[in-house]
Amino acid sequence: MRGAPPAHIVDEVEALKREAGIAACSFINSGMTLGLGTGSTVRYTVLEIGRRIVEEGLEVKGVPTSEATRHLAEGLGIPLLTLEQAGEIDLTIDGADEFDPDFQLIKGGGGALTREKRVAAASRAMVVVADVRKQVPVLGGFDLPLEVDIGDWEGVRDELDLICPGSVRLRGGQTPYVTDNGGHILDCEFGPTISEPSQLEQLILSVDGVVEVGLFVGMCDAVVMATPSEVLTMVKQGGRLD
């Protein structure tokens, strides 16, 4: 059995994630309404926004994608809006569990995929902060999360068993995970087979009881990626930030 990586490796990875999270703030200007993502890497982005508000007078408003992010942002003094109050959002910065060469994403490992997707859909542009482990040639190595209505999860699981080549599991098992919206998460083991994410997204969304699927298609415009040696910014050709 493999042990945990040495502490200095963990520290180096964390330092690069922090650098990437801060680098993503280069897309932010005063006056913007920002979608504030969820996850360990984009947490550093939120912390940097808070620092810039205090130290540089940055004037922005945030729309949090989870209760965890809302609590963090409130503690940093970032003015917040609900999605309904914000209307159109200038820019969302969020993490991802996987991204492919076409800037398509799998998200939802943290359980916030429904709010994350609604905020991203309301945004003029989206920047993803990630580390190099999240870059894949084909989506699906990371299990695809779905949010489902609590009362319908067994029926959805049975339907997904007909679609998904691997297992379909209720997150949390005997003690099911409950999302901020009061739903459950099913994790679907597709393997690296999702070459047509748009088609799969529509197929899964047609299943009764599915609230949202963690495929983010045509939403991401740039990725700020931490590698073992540097932070790279990749902008989608023809995207909204190109």
* Residue 235 is assigned to a structural domain of this protein: no
- Give the per-residue pLDDT at 15: 87
Same domain, 91 and 156: no
* Residue 240 is assigned to a structural domain of this protein: no
- Give which of 51, 83, 91 is closest to 66, Cα–Cα: 83
Same domain, 11 and 117: yes
Query: Mean pLDDT in the chain?
Result: 94
Same domain, 190 and 206: yes
Q: What angle do CA 58, 63, 64 make, to 5 degrees?
A: 110
Does 16 score more than 90 pLDDT? no
pLDDT band at residue 242, thresholds of 50, 70 and 90?
confident
Alpha helix (H) ranges present in 92-206? 113-121, 153-161, 197-205
Same domain, 148 and 38: no
Same domain, 22 and 126: yes
Does 199 score more than 90 pLDDT? yes
Q: Note if 116 is an active site residue.
A: yes
Does 139 score more than 80 pLDDT? yes
Percent of the chain residues past pLDDT 90, beyond the cut: 89
This prediction has a pTM of: 0.93
Same domain, 125 and 24: yes
* Residue 89 is assigned to a structural domain of this protein: yes
- Residue 73 tokens read as 């942002």
CATH number at residue 155: 3.30.70.260
What does the pLDDT average to over 134-161?
A: 97
* Residue 22 is assigned to a structural domain of this protein: yes
Same domain, 127 and 76: yes
* Residue 239 is assigned to a structural domain of this protein: no
What does the pLDDT average to over 163-184?
A: 97
Percent of the chain residues past pLDDT 70, beyond the cut: 96
Same domain, 122 and 194: no
Does 61 score more than 90 pLDDT? yes
Same domain, 122 and 171: no
* Residue 181 is assigned to a structural domain of this protein: yes
Same domain, 114 and 159: no
Domain that holds residue 157: 144-212
Total number of domains in the chain: 2
What does the pLDDT average to over 6-23?
A: 79
Name the active-site residue from 14, 19, 48, 116.
116
Amino acid at 41: T
Q: Could you tell me if 51 and 28 are in contact, meaning their C-beta atoms sit under 8 angstroms apart? A: no
What does the pLDDT average to over 218-232?
A: 94
Same domain, 202 and 222: no
pLDDT band at residue 1, thresholds of 50, 70 and 90?
very low
pLDDT, tens digit (0-9, with 9 covering 90-100), for 89-115 = 999 999 999 999 999 999 999 999 999
* Residue 54 is assigned to a structural domain of this protein: yes
pLDDT band at residue 6, thresholds of 50, 70 and 90?
low
Same domain, 118 and 172: no
CATH number at residue 21: 3.40.50.1360
* Residue 232 is assigned to a structural domain of this protein: no
Does 35 score more than 60 pLDDT? yes
Does 140 score more than 80 pLDDT? yes
pLDDT band at residue 24, thresholds of 50, 70 and 90?
very high
Contacts of residue 89, defined as CB under 8 A and 6 or more positions apart, other chains included, come to 33, 34, 35, 63, 83, 119, 122, 123, 124
